[in-house]
Amino acid sequence: MNDVWAFGQDNGYAVGQPLTGFSVEAADGVIGHVERQEDTPGMQHLVVDTGVWKFGRSVLIPAGAVTVVDAGEQMVRVAPSRDEIKAAPRFETDSETTDHGYLSEVGAYYLSLRASH
């Protein structure tokens, strides 16, 4: 399951590249912007502020869901749709980024999306 927690190759991401502030976009529209990122190998993910949605909240998106990083446009594209991201396990506190139970739940959810596409 570790590949869901790592940036894919050839998506434009450079190791250590700061993504904070980049806009985040799904195929069906803008999701929000990168609020924080975790770059620890095997745990790479983005915390995305979804303030553009009516009930804006933050969501945790594993790095494996990222399809394109465009440094020039300061934009990150992700594979899941807006509705799929909204349906992901709810992210509430930063302590969840180190909670193995929560991370396993999130990882399993995003892996299930890959299987259904």
Length of the chain: 117
Tell me: the pLDDT tens digits for 12-59? 999 889 999 999 999 899 999 999 999 988 889 999 998 866 566 899
Tell me: the pLDDT tens digits for 54-74? 566 899 999 999 999 999 999
d(CA 48, CA 61): 7
- What is the β-pairing status of strands 45-49 and 58-62? antiparallel
d(CA 106, CA 1): 11
Find all residues with CB under 8 Å of 40, minimum gap 6, and list them. none
Token pair, residue 49, equals 């502020």
Claim: this prediction has a pTM higher than 0.95: no
d(CA 23, CA 19): 9
Q: Which residue reads 């912007």 in tokens?
A: 33
Token pair, residue 48, equals 């995305």
Cβ atoms 33, 24 nearer than 8 A? yes
